[in-house]
Copies of this chain bind each other. A is one copy, B any other.
Amino acid sequence: MLFIVGLGLADERDITVKGLDAVKQSERVYLEAYTSLLLVPKEKLEEFYGKEVIVADREMVEMEADKILEGAKERDVSFLVVGDPFGATTHTDLELRARSLGIPVRVIHNASIMNAVGACGLQLYRFGESISIVFFTDTWRPDSFYDRILANRREGLHTLCLLDIKVKEPSLESLARGRKVYEPPRFMTINTAIEQLLEVEAARQQGAYSPDTLCVGVARIGSDTQRIVAGSMQQLLDVDYGPPLHSLVIAGNTHPIEDEYLRQFSVAAAAGEATAAATAAAGQK
């Protein structure tokens, strides 16, 4: 049996009981580590599971699927995916390959950013199409997301922006030299995402959004250090959200219940807290 197990969002204890049982009974355990990342290192997982975890990078999953699936017809193999197994397209290949080899497949679901983003208080059923924002380079500044934000906002819908993750990417220079050297991991911040968004709006000028548009920055969702901040794009530009992973929501039309819930996360509320803390600190002198 091939178990494709969602790990949820933050740490080793976000796995489901069903998922943990699958891992414990598996002969080999792989961790997909290029479309998303847990907020804890692999060693933490190994300690929790009491067994070795093999990190599967993109090359391995794409080129050595049969090695991952070896013996899975008779014995159990677990393939761990951060979030839910269906958050990324990449696992469907592995699953289809398994099925074509006659290997039974069992998917164990979990939370992913696609549903956990509801924690910001914007209602999930009021989200339109999701978009991905990739790191702009000097020569590649893809902005096809702009039309989708525009379409969502015209319908009054919220837009979840998934921000770029670069894990184990070969450097262009090394590719040119024919011997792969990998870049250090990079995770797009909410700040960078907003900069790129504003740059695209300045170029396209169709009014999909503006510096005044209500947005919600969401960092490390589901963890103890989760940070959610609501404010205009301009306001959110200067907030420090801390370590990855970050996501951004561009709000559509909001309902009064959404507004009420969002208030606790407003930049103003956060600034108020900071001021209160500063005042308290000053008072202690």
Q: How far is the CA of A15 from the CA of B123 in the complex (A)?
A: 23
Say yes or no for A129: interface residue by CB 8 A criterion. yes
Residues of B within 8 A of A89 (CB): 123, 257
Q: How far is the CB of A255 from chain B (nearest CB, A)?
A: 9
By the criterion CB–CB under 8 Å, are A84 and B111 in contact? yes
Say yes or no for A266: interface residue by CB 8 A criterion. no
The residue of chain B having its C-beta at the shortest distance from the C-beta of A127 within the complex is B129
Say yes or no for A170: interface residue by CB 8 A criterion. no
Q: How far is the CA of A264 from the CA of B126 in the complex (A)?
A: 31
By the criterion CB–CB under 8 Å, are A92 and B257 in contact? yes
Say yes or no for A187: interface residue by CB 8 A criterion. no
Choose among B21, B115, B155 the residue that contacts A109 (Cβ–Cβ < 8 A): B115
By the criterion CB–CB under 8 Å, are A86 and B125 in contact? no
Q: How far is the CB of A279 from chain B (nearest CB, A)?
A: 20
Most buried by B among A20, A21, A110, A221: A110
Which of chain A's residues 94-125 have a Cβ closer than 8 Å to chain B?
A: 96, 99, 107-112, 114-116, 118-119, 121, 123-125
Q: How far is the CB of A7 from chain B (nearest CB, A)?
A: 10
Which of chain A's residues 12-49 have a Cβ closer than 8 Å to chain B?
A: 12-18, 20-21
Q: How far is the CA of A221 from the CA of B9 in the complex (A)?
A: 20
Q: How far is the CA of A15 from the CA of B121 in the complex (A)?
A: 22
Residues of B within 8 A of A87 (CB): 115, 118, 124
Q: How far is the CA of A221 from the CA of B106 in the complex (A)?
A: 12
The residue of chain B having its C-beta at the shortest distance from the C-beta of A226 within the complex is B107
Q: How far is the CB of A2 from chain B (nearest CB, A)?
A: 15
Choose among B21, B111, B264 the residue that contacts A99 (Cβ–Cβ < 8 A): B264
By the criterion CB–CB under 8 Å, are B128 and A128 in contact? yes
- For this complex, 19 residue pairs linking A to B, each with C-beta atoms less than 8 Å apart, are A9-B109, A12-B17, A13-B16, A13-B21, A15-B16, A17-B17, A85-B118, A86-B124, A92-B121, A109-B119, A110-B110, A111-B115, A114-B114, A114-B124, A125-B131, A125-B162, A127-B129, A128-B128, A129-B155
* Interchain residue pairs A-B with the least CB separation, the first 7: A86-B118, A109-B111, A125-B130, A13-B18, A115-B115, A13-B17, A114-B115
Known: A86-B118, A125-B132. 8 other contacts (CB 8 A): A13-B16, A13-B18, A16-B110, A92-B261, A108-B222, A109-B111, A110-B111, A125-B162
